[in-house]
Amino acid sequence: MTLDKLSAGSVGVITAVGGEGALRCRLLDMGLIPRTKVKVVKTAPMGDPVEIRLRDYALTIRLADAALIKVRPLNGDGEEKEPVGGAAT
């Protein structure tokens, strides 16, 4: 899943940062690095940009840039979400 797919209030952990060249370096410089927990705070009225919270600061990025960041969604307790359909027993 990518960061642009998380809804407001959702939390996730960054697993990979895509992009190339200067854009990728800029995303990494802003603290968007693997294993960092991020929370989607809100989305602009027209859907772009999106405000996220990470490392005790707020960051606003375009949806096109958020689509380059892969995340693993977490539930409200910071635990990994159950797979859709639950675990097989």
pLDDT over 90 (residue 34): yes
The widest CA-to-CA distance across the chain, in whole angstroms, is 47
Q: For residue 22, what is the DSSP state?
A: H
Return the percentage of the chain with pLDDT > 70, whole number: 84
* Average confidence (pLDDT) over 2-13: 92
Measured CA to CA, the distance from residue 68 to residue 84 in angstroms comes to 23
List phi, psi (to 5°) of 57.
-145, 160
Q: Report the predicted TM-score, pTM, of the whole model to 2 decimal places.
A: 0.78
The full set of domains in the chain, from first to last, is: 3-74 (2.30.30.90)
Higher pLDDT, 34 or 48: 34
Query: Is the distance from CB of 72 to CB of 58 less than 8 angstroms?
Result: no
**Which residue in the block uniquely carries the two structure tokens 């927990």?**
37
- pLDDT tens readout for residues 36-74: 999 999 998 888 899 999 989 999 999 999 999 999 998
